Amino acid sequence: MRVILKDDIKNLGKCGEVVMVRDGYGRNYLVRRNLAVVATRGNLKSIGEITTQKRLRDNKRRREAEQLKTALERISCTAEVQVGEEDRVFGSVTSHNIADLLAKQGFVVDRRNILLEEPIKALGVYTVPVKIERDVVADLKVWVVKKD
């Protein structure tokens, strides 16, 4: 079955390409999820329109991601942790904790998009990268302070 891709699909092709796929995969997965259309004569003539629509969707998504990036870079999160002698932190601040702090401020960010290499185990100010889109990454300031 020949289909025209409406979106970039890993290991299959880019938007606007005509590819051969198995009938079941084309009908039951690609067409149903609006990732492709069947390659008929009329649809083959509208490939330019399909790529234009994808470019518009990508531009809109990128603008929204840039706005979220600027909003995230303006704020800072404060994680209060319990400390022992010599300001040693009990436990650590993880990406899950940072996601909860962002949720309290009204930002919904998946914890897997918080690119924390290892949990924070000391007091101080940290810059944590937060992935918003493929190539849009915001730098979030996280303050780790002693709980009173």
DSSP classification of residue 85: G
Q: Tokens for 32? A: 């149903």
pLDDT score for 51: 86
In order along the chain (148 residues), what is the average pLDDT of each group of 10 residues?
92 92 95 93 87 91 94 92 86 93 92 93 93 92 90
pLDDT score for 45: 87
What number of residues does the chain have? 148
Domains, the chain, ordered by start = 2-45 (3.40.5.10), 68-146 (3.10.430.100)
* DSSP characters over 93-124: B-HHHHHHHHHHTT----GGGB--SS-B-SSE
Helix, strand, coil percentages in the chain from 3-state DSSP, rounded to 5: 40, 30, 30
Instruction: Measure the CA–CA gap between 20 and 117, rounded to whole angstroms.
Output: 41
Contacts of 121 (CB under 8 A, 6+ apart): 89, 92, 93
pLDDT score for 44: 87
Q: Tokens for 5? A: 């891709």
CA separation, residue 120 to residues 78, 91, 94 (Å): 13, 9, 7
pLDDT score for 49: 87
Interior CA angle at 124 toward 114 and 129, to 5°?
20
pTM score: 0.73
Instruction: Measure the CA–CA gap between 96 and 47, rounded to whole angstroms.
Output: 43
